[in-house]
């Protein structure tokens, strides 16, 4: 899908970013699809894939804590696909990190668990659906760093604690609470002049509510391949490939000496 009035929208995005010192960027699966990571609900997304591959009662069961406790194999097999290749940040991930390098105060709130914002160089990242970087034993509660169980993840094997309990990465499953770090930001949002939503349909709560709350208060833009039901509340709506749009905005900002 290619957006109409593209040049006008690129110019508006440039002006919004130039005039904002403090920016919150909220990202979803769409920012990582160009990295080779499928989204969740698309035609070739993760849920359609696992529905065909595993004998699950429903696709979301692969990320459901109750089902995980019954059968963790689908989750670890799916995780192997994420870890088996050296997935690199997209142009948009790098663009966000560049904005921070150039002196903007950037707070990234991401629904993704792929760790690509950190890999791209962003310093202030809240992973509201958790992370693979740490884990804990479901039986005894012992905590682990990724270097102690990453080899197992790459093989699709179930890592076990010395107590024989399953070591579960601190990825948030359905049925689990989001991290405290997210709720702190939700109830006390960082000071911001602009919120940018990139690659999210804003359908998963409560994370999406954070972005929508800000969009109702400050300047806002949303860049997503497809329209969302919330587009009308944003000051700027762009429906196209996120990397193409980021590239165009980036080029204009680079040429501006007073950025």
> Looking at 2, 70, 129, 187, which residue is catalytic?
129
- β-pairing, 130-137 vs 143-145, is antiparallel
Quote the CA–CA distance of 26 and 198 in Å, as a whole number. 6
Active site residue 2: no
Quote the CA–CA distance of 176 and 64 in Å, as a whole number. 9
Is-contact 219 256, C-beta < 8 A? no
- For residue 134, give Cα distances in angstroms to 107, 131, 142, 158, 164: 21, 7, 11, 15, 18
CA 45 to chain centre: 15
Q: Which of helix, strand or coil describes residue 63? A: helix
CB neighbour class for 179 (10 Å; exposed up to 12, middle 13-18, buried from 19): middle
Catalytic residue list: 129
């Amino acid at each position: 899908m290619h957006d109409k009035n593209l040049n006008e929208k690129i110019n508006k995005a440039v002006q919004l970013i130039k005039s904002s010192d403090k920016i919150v960027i909220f990202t979803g699966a769409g920012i990582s699809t160009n990295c080779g990571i499928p989204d969740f609900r698309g035609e070739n997304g993760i849920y359609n894939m696992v529905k065909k591959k595993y004998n699950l009662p429903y696709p979301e069961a692969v990320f459901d804590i109750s089902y995980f406790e019954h059968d963790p194999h689908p989750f670890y097999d799916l995780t192997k696909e994420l870890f088996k290749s050296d997935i690199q940040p997209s142009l948009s991930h790098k663009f966000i990190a560049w904005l921070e390098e150039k002196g903007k105060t950037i707070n990234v709130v991401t629904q993704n668990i792929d760790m690509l914002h950190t890999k791209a160089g962003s310093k202030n990242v809240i992973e509201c659906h958790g992370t693979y970087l740490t884990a804990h034993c479901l039986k005894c509660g012992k905590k682990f760093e990724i270097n102690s169980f990453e080899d197992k993840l790459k093989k699709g094997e179930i890592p076990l604690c010395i107590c024989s309990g399953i070591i579960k990465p601190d990825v948030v499953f359905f049925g689990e609470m989001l991290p405290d770090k997210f709720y702190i930001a939700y109830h006390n949002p960082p000071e911001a002049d602009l919120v940018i939503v990139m690659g999210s349909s804003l359908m998963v709560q409560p994370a999406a509510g954070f972005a929508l709350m800000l969009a109702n208060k400050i300047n806002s833009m949303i860049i997503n391949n497809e329209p969302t039901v919330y587009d009308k509340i944003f000051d700027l709506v762009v429906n196209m490939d996120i990397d193409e749009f980021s590239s165009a905005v980036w080029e204009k900002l680079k040429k501006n000496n007073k950025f």
